[in-house]
Structure 1
Amino acid sequence: MTPQLQQAIRLLQLSTLDLQQEIQEALESNPMLERQEDGDDFDTSDPMAEGDQQSNSGNQDSSFQESSVQTNAEALEDGEWHERIPSELPVDTAWEDVYQTSASSLPSNDDDEWDFTSRTSVGESLQSHLLWQLNLAPMSDTDRLIGVTLIDCINNDGYLEETLAEIVEAFDPELGIELDEVEVVLHRIQQFEPAGIGARDLRECLILQLRQLPSGTPWLVEAQRLAADFLDLLGSRDYSQLMRRMKVKEDELRQIIELIQCLNPRPGSQIEASEPEYVVPDVIVRKHNERWLVELNQEAVPRLRVNPHYAGFVRRADSSADNTFMRNQLQEARWFIKSLQSRNETLMKVATQIVEHQRGFLEYGEEAMKPLVLHDIAEAVGMHESTISRVTTQKYMHTPRGIYELKYFFSSHVSTSEGGECSSTAIRAIIKKLVAAENPKKPLSDSKIAGLLEAQGIQVARRTVAKYRESLGIAPSSERKRLM
């Protein structure tokens, strides 16, 4: 592959956020590149050849044409350099072997101005959150040592993984730390936030959270008794046995269980150690005059052009080191702009075909989703399936129904009794709808759901229903049983 093709493929598979970072690095490393600000004059010249006009695509929205990256070729013609830049480099050569890449412009580790924390910072971990509370609590040095050890033994869910006896054995015998001292410090930690932290099992976790509720909470005493003595019956959903043991009526038991269900069985999950991931849509789909329009998100990627002032400094016959450097920077800038334009055009073609194929989803929702595979889009746009796979990975579409990754619109199919096809996404939506409308006392089994789907003409095996149900995060019927 030529270096141009390598760069185009690399930019094609980048997400919008990664592409923004790549563009920023290119702007910082290449003086020939600059942002196209609003209101600046620019023409529509092909960035790879002076004087050639860009080809317009008649089936693309006008907003896409306006968001395409641009360059100012007139400034190049007015300058001293009129040499035509070759459009290709030798095959199987690397881009880094010919031109300086933006990655090489990154500062080294010994650069004092490089902000390491801005590139490596993450959210607060559960251990650091607990240690912060431990440092605020007044205690002796020995108790603080015990507390630090206990916190190290708490997993991400908030549970103490080691037994107290094992923790005592881990200390130096010369310290003379005994089991009751460790237990006292553990009780201190169990009063930290989030509620339920440091528990040794689910029963203790629920009891710790119930103890921190206001004393006037309805059914608090009964909920504490249920968590302490009858948690196994609740797990097996043996409601009749629970009502007999606790001597409560069905409506009272329902309120007690609702209080239990308000608790968090994984209290440590409230402290998120990883940074949040942001999604920026690449394309926007909207309906106008009964037509679905596809537009590039103009705010996601800045428009670029070649700086005409610096480009005018390049001299045709000058072979000095400075002129060679500037000529290489100009070539790299123009190829970078061309790669961005190619990325935008490919993304628009694929997104337009997806919208054309999935109009039913945009109009009526998931149940109207049609089967779609990569080969269908590749055949429609005249590209290889691998290219379609790159385009649809980490690229997002903003629709009136929400923001979806382009891969979301692809799904396999299941045959119907009438000889048609139904997508797996539509079947999942139907299963979700059936479960939401079921009787909580008598939830639908997988076999029953398969029968209901067959009644609608959709032929799905019970094991397929189970697979789709699990992918939706829906528990089996035995675990969905609830009191009214």
Structure 2
Amino acid sequence: MWRSRLSCSSPSVCCNCPHWSCTKKSSRCSRATPSWSWKKTARRPGRCHSTAPAKPPRPRPPQTPTPQGSDGFEGPDALSEVAASDFGSTERDDWENGTERDDFDGIRELPSTSASGSNAAGDDDDFDPQERRRSALSLSDHLREQLPGLRLSAGDAAAVHVLIESLNEDGYLTDSLEDIAEPLMAGMDDEEDRDELMSRLRCALLWLQRLDPLGVGARSLSECLSLQLRAQAPSPAREVALCICQDHLELLAKRDIKKLMSATGADEEVLRQAQTLIVACEPKPGRPFADAESHIIVPDVIVQRSGRALKVTLNPDVMPKLRINDLYAAALRGGKQGGGSGLSTRLQEARWFMKNIQQRFDTILRVSKAIVERQKAFFTHGEIAMKPLVLREIADELGLHESTISRVTTAKYMATPGGTYELKYFFGSSLSTEAGGNASSTAVRALIKQMIGAEDPAKPLSDSTLSHMLEEQGIQVARRTVAKYRESLKIAPANLRKAL
């Protein structure tokens, strides 16, 4: 509860508020103690009150460097465990028919600790331990690490901590302060206490929005961009950019130059400079930290070039090192006259389990080799040379059930000279061509991306134009299909790609 975390015996203390409405004449209010209370005092809600009328402290600079270390408000690190499943009897037919349980999928989530992985990191001249540490932090961890540098009281830091926990993955505060305060007000009957809590949260929001990355804690795209622009040096272009972000983002999205010039009173040159400033801002401050929330991908299969051929091997880091203890196995064999039939059954089940695990990886390798053989052109020319491929083709070639191929290619990854891909990536639907052949949907997406990348920014290609261009190359694709592929590539429509 808010009361239990933030209350103390101190009857009064300044809320350390960065707001301009502070009753102190200094640039910021002073602190008397690092704690605060909900006890009633003769003060007006929403105001800062100081118990120390001494000379105010020197104002702090607006930018606070990120301190090293952790703060007192960060909870213990969560420890993730892979729960071991109960293994019963398994049969060889389960694997062939695609009905076996996949009990080792969690293995690929563990980072590689092999010597080869360590050497690879050590040979990288650009390896930066600090940058790697930063990229491994989540957004909330990164924000918490900065709290000690603000030198906030315990109550203020806890209020900022509550807002940090309310941020979404993009760094936005999607819930209103009233909604955030509602569960914290449970049991608060005094109206003054409620006003005090809201005042705390409003002050905490201002502190949060001063942290790195700039724009964090914004409640809208307009506010996010404005926070980043205000941190830049004053200039006519910045003022126009602020005006656009606050009132005319829709006109900017439509690339309506005339209306923007009329609304802002700026000439075309200043307007272009303002657009450059806006484009340089990060619309999603939490995006650089998104990778920290995802699992580390360790490939199951490695593809390497060996002359003109491609060599496909299993990654030894994902293969469990399982063996049966010879001492216990010998003891079971020597004690058959006793009542050890139950243990003998468990020993046989362990042997079946190890055999099925080995067969599982053998199947992954066979499927991977079949994929590489069918998609040789991809490894030479890239996505644009991808061929249409369906699960049934590989299943028929290897004599396996189609569901087995589906499971083997899901959440299994292949490291190639051009990057790491999920095995399912190499499968895709086909589109007919004028020559009577088929084109892979992946290749068509790559072709659309290539066409858009080469377009004139002043005259971007519409979906209809792209459809006609593909038809000229012998690929029949409807306009709606082009739009679907474009959206899957996260490419904006033509009217939003047009340059000012």
CA RMSD of aligned residues (A): 3.6
Matched, 1:190 2:209: yes
* Aligned partner of 1:297 among 312, 315, 318: 315
Q: State yes or no: 1:255 paired with 2:344.
A: no
- Normalising to structure 2: TM-score of the pair? 0.66
**2:392 partner amino acid:** H
- For 1:350-389, list aligned pairs within 5 A: 350-389=367-406
Assess if the C-alpha contact under 8 Å between 1:358 and 1:369 holds in 2.
yes
Confirm or deny: 8 A CA contact 2:429 2:440 kept in the other structure: yes
Deviation string 1:417-470 (CA, Å, 9 cap, x unpaired) is 011110111100100100111111111111000000000000111111111111
Which residue does the alignment assign to 2:58?
A: none
**Given that residues 388 and 429 in structure 2 are in contact (C-alpha distance below 8 angstroms), is that contact kept between their aligned partners in structure 1?**
yes
Aligned to 1:36: none
1:3 maps to 90
Q: Is residue 2:430 matched to residue 1:413?
A: yes
Secondary structure at the residue paired with 2:305? Answer: strand
Which residue of 459, 462, 469 maps to 2:479? 462
**Residue 177, structure 1, aligned to residue 195, structure 2:** yes
**1-side partners of 2:237 and 2:265: how far apart?**
13
Find out whether 1:277 has 2:258 as its counterpart: no
Corresponding residue of 2:228: 209
Which residue is equivalent to 2:466?
449
Specify whether residues 412 and 187 from structure 1 end up closer, same or farther in structure 2 by C-alpha distance, changes over 3 A only: same
Residues 12 and 391, structure 1, Cα contact 8 Å, conserved in 2: no
Query: Structure 2 CA distance, aligned partners of 1:154 and 1:20?
Result: 26
Report the Cα offset of residue 357 of structure 1. Answer: 1.0
Q: 1:227 aligns to what SS in structure 2?
A: helix
Relative to the length of structure 1, the TM-score reads: 0.68
- Contact 1:168/1:177, CA 8 A, preserved across alignment: no
- 1:415 CA drift (Å): 0.6
Structure 1: unaligned runs, 5 residues or longer: 22-122
Opposite residue 3 of structure 1, the aligned amino acid is T
> What are the residue-to-residue correspondences of 1:72-471 with 2, within 5 Å?
137=150, 154-161=167-174, 172-175=190-193, 177=195, 183-213=202-232, 215=233, 219-246=237-264, 248=266, 250-270=268-288, 272=290, 275-315=293-333, 318-321=336-339, 323-324=340-341, 326-471=343-488
- What do the CA deviations read for 1:179-215 (whole angstroms, capped 9, x no partner)? 87765554333323332233343322222112223x2
Shift, 1:294, TM fit: 1.8
The answer on whether the counterparts of 1:11 and 1:340 sit within 8 Å (CA) in structure 2 is no
**Using a 3 Å threshold, how does the CA distance of structure 1 residues 167 and 416 change in structure 2: closer, same or farther?**
closer
My pick for the range that moved more, 405-414 or 246-255, is: 246-255
Question: C-alpha displacement at 1:479, in angstroms?
Answer: 1.2
CA contact (8 A) 1:416 1:459 kept: yes
How big is the shift at 1:404? 1.0
In the alignment of these two chains, the number of paired residues is: 380
Return the offset for 1:382: 0.7
- Asked if the contact 1:146–1:185 (Cα under 8 Å) also holds between the matched residues in 2, the reply is yes
Which 10-residue stretch deviates more, 180-189 or 446-455? 180-189
User: Which deviations, in whole Å up to 9, do the C-alpha atoms of 1:254-292 show, x marking residues without a partner?
Assistant: 332122112122334555596331111112222324222
Question: Aligned partner of 2:303: which letter?
Answer: V
Q: State the distance in 1 between where 2:162 and 2:479 align.
A: 49
**CA-CA distance at 1:20 after TM superposition:** 8.7
Separation in 1, partners of 2:319, 2:154: 55
Paired with 2:428 and 2:401, the residues of 1 have a C-alpha distance of 18
Q: Is the 8 A contact 1:223 1:257 kept in 2?
A: yes
Amino acid at match of 1:349: R
Q: CA, structure 1 residues 374+12, in 2 after alignment: closer, same or farther (shift >3 Å)?
A: farther
Distance in 2 of aligned mates of 1:335 and 1:149: 51
For 2:321 and 2:193, locate their aligned partners in 1 and report how far apart those are by CA, in whole Å: 66
Q: Map residues 51-66 of structure 1 onto 2, 5 A cutoff.
A: none
Equivalent-residue separation in structure 2 for 1:291 and 1:147 (angstroms) = 57
Aligned with 2:458: secondary structure? coil
* Whole-angstrom distance in 2 between the partners of 1:310 and 1:150: 56
Instruction: State the AA in 1 paired with 2:371.
Output: I
Instruction: Sort the Cα spacing of 1:382 and 1:167 in 2 relative to 1 into closer, same or farther, 3 A.
Output: closer
- 1:48 is aligned to none
Cα 1:177/1:149, change in 2 over 3 Å: farther
Taking structure 1 as reference, are residues 16 and 157 closer, same or farther at Cα in structure 2, changes over 3 Å only? closer
Residue of structure 2 in register with 1:68 after alignment: none
Q: For the Cα contact (< 8 Å) 1:449–1:465, is it kept in 2?
A: yes
Distance 1:316 1:4, change over 3 A: farther
SS of corresponding position for 1:292:
strand
- Is the 2:224–2:283 Cα contact (8 Å) retained in structure 1? yes
Q: Quote the residue 2:117 is aligned against.
A: none
Which residue is 1:60 aligned to?
A: none
User: Match for 1:207: what amino acid?
Assistant: S
Matches of 1:446 and 1:419 in 2, distance apart? 24
In percent, how many aligned pairs have the same letter? 45
What is residue 18 of structure 1 aligned with on the other side? Answer: 107
Question: What displacement does 1:155 show?
Answer: 4.5
Contact residue 108 and residue 298 of structure 2 kept, 8 A: no
Deviation at 1:223, TM superposition (A): 2.7
